[in-house]
Structures are given as C-alpha cells and as structure tokens.
Structure 1
Amino acid sequence: MELAGKSILVVDDDELLRERLARALVRRGLSVRAAEGADEALELAAASAPDLAVLDLKMPGRSGLELLPELLRVSPKTKVVILTGYGSITNAVDAIHAGAVNYVTKPADADQVLEAFRRGSAADTPRPRPEDLHAPSLAEAEWNHIQQALADCGGNITRAAEHLGIPRRTLQRKLKKLAP
C-alpha cells in the first residue's frame, strides 16, 4: 500500500510526541493534521475526511477506543491505527473489534506507524481473530497493570504504590523484575 500523498490525522494528548510524529510523517510525503483530543479530531475529520488516522489509546476525556467508532461514523473510509504505551492483547482485540486496522505500542516512530498501516491493509494479511489471540498470563496482566498505574502517576513510584494499594518497596521489587 503506497502511503505518500495520503492525508493522515494524528491524535495524541502528548504535544511533543504529536508534533514530532506529525513532522516525521510530513517528511515521508503525507499531508498531516494533528489534534490534541477527541473533539478536535472529530471536527477535523468532519471538515475533511482523512485517509488515515493514528489515535492514542489513553487521552484525557474520551480514549482512542471511544473515539474510534465516532471517527469511523464521520469518516467511514479512514484506516485507523491505535497507538499506545499500554500494550496488551485485550487492548489489541478491542481496537480490532472497534475497526482499527492495526495496533502499535509506544515508543513508535513514523516508520513503525506507516508499516502498521501497510500490514493492516495488506490483502493477504488476515486480521487476527479473537480466538487466535491468547489471554495474557497473570504475570503479563499484572505487569501491564503496574505499568499503566505508573504512567497514570507520572512515573512517581510512591503515588503508583498508593494507587495500587501495595507497599512502595513491593512495587520497587516488581519493577526490578523483567517484563514477562
């Protein structure tokens, strides 16, 4: 799938990441519009339907998964990739069920995002079926939950431990272990 010349909507609440990704996509020949959140993204899509869209999963207000069906109602031909720092099989399945063509975990650069569109749109690449994806192990689920809590607390281990309801030292020990 040739992507140069296509229009793309980048939706992420992280201004630095949004602007950096937008500049990199412009350098690769795409026409880029960027939005900080769901409302702005829907306004931009209603004004001019993008060919492609990259939606951050976790944003203040409506999440990328909540925005996805609304965006597809406004712009049904838009191909969407979900971008997130919270990678899990459950999120991937939810994104595919909601209409995304693919799913990319952060940190991701422009080439990885574009490759996700190519892989998700390839005619010979079947979409994963929910029954083909296994549920995460208990260790993976715990690790993902800890990482999400830590990110929600801005990397502050003390606040994350309080949020999780575990002692700070226990959280530190868990973080020293490698991800499952």
Structure 2
Amino acid sequence: MVERELQNIGADASLLLVDDDEPFLKRLARAMEKRGFETHTAGSVAEGKAIALTRAPAYAVVDLRLEDGNGLDVVEVLREKRPDARIVVLTGYGAIATAVAAVKIGATDYLSKPADANDITAALLADGDDMPPPPENPMSADRVRWEHIQRVYELCDRNVSETARRLNMHRRTLQRILAKRSPK
C-alpha cells in the first residue's frame, strides 16, 4: 500500500499538519512520513499561517478548532499562497455548517475525528472529484453520541447541569450516560 501511495503523492510531498493535540500531531506526523510525505507540524493557527506563508506545502491537514483560533484561517492563507494544495480539515465537532464553510474556503475534504492516517491519506490523494472510500471501521452511532456528550461535558468544565441544559436532556439521564463505559 505504501508504494502505491508514494506514486500518487507526486514530486512535491510537503505536508503541513496543524493540530493543538501534541500527542496526536506527533503520531500523525510519523505515520504520514512512513507514507512518503515530508511533514511540517504546527500546534497553533499562528504557526500554521507562518509555515503556509513561508513554504506553502502541497498537502495540509488542519484541525478546525485550535486553542488560538479557527483552523479555517490557515486554510485561507494556504489557499491564497498555493491554490493547487490539497487540504483536509479535521474536527471532533462534525457539523454540516462547518463542513460547508471548510469546503467553500478551499478544503478538499472534511473528516471527523478520530480519523486515522489511512483515512487522511485516502482523502489527500483522492483523484479529482472522486470521493475517498468510506472508513473500514467507522465509529458506531452509539460511540459518536457518547463522544459528542463527552466533548460537551468537557467544554462545560464537567458541570453536569450545564451540560444537560445544552444537550437538552434530563440531568439524571446524562448522569447515567456519564457513569457508563464508552461504547465500542
């Protein structure tokens, strides 16, 4: 599989990875290097923009929500500097509105976290208008729901009442969900 990927990458294999989750960023960088990319990493919007302005890569994987702003700002700068760049936007907050905004700004594809290196590579190297194949092991609907609840819970500083209000669910129902293990 790696040989096939090397042929599809092309002469310029530069790849910008922008994510504020450092362990994920390092793992993804190693995995993409094994697939033949020359990776450059950034942990913030400011770093991502700086790299995009100085040496605009042929490929980019940008997280949507970063601590210092919105990853779409990096996509805009990269699209201005290098119109032919293939850009994948990653997010743990999948929503149709943000997917549309990402594509309008110039993203090639939009993937929800957790996406693995194979999914990301397939999206980066998809030919033209071809859609990459669906993931081999997608999350179950129960797991997606659980992930969303956990994310909102963390954003509400682990306040059960506030989380229940924002999710429009009864507080005791939320407490029962939080007490269980994550579904597979």
Q: CA RMSD in A?
A: 3.1
1:30 Cα offset (Å): 0.5
Cα deviation 1:35-82 (Å, max 9, x = unaligned): 001111111122211000100011112211233212322333322100
Residue aligning to 1:137: none
Whether 2:149 is the aligned partner of 1:149: answer no
Residue aligning to 1:61: 68
Rounded Cα–Cα distance in structure 2 between residues aligned with 1:44 and 1:144: 32
Identity of aligned residues (%): 38
Does the 8 A contact of 2:53 with 2:77 survive in 1? no
Does the 8 A contact of 2:164 with 2:174 survive in 1? no
Cα deviation 1:136-167 (Å, max 9, x = unaligned): xxxxxx9997555234246x352752773866
Residue of 119, 125, 138 corresponding to 2:130: 125
Does the 8 A contact of 1:49 with 1:75 survive in 2? yes
Residue correspondences, number: 160
Residue aligning to 1:31: 38
Whether 2:172 is the aligned partner of 1:169: answer yes
Rounded Cα–Cα distance in structure 2 between residues aligned with 1:33 and 1:153: 33
Residue aligning to 2:8: 2
- With 159-168 and 76-85 compared, the bigger mean Cα shift is at 159-168
Regions of 4+ moved over 3 Å: 142-148, 165-168, 172-176
Rounded Cα–Cα distance in structure 1 between residues aligned with 2:151 and 2:101: 17
Cα deviation 1:2-35 (Å, max 9, x = unaligned): 1266110000000011111001101111100000
Does the 8 A contact of 1:157 with 1:168 survive in 2? no
Q: Look up the SS of the partner of 2:94 in the other structure.
A: coil
Letter in structure 2 aligned against 1:149 = V
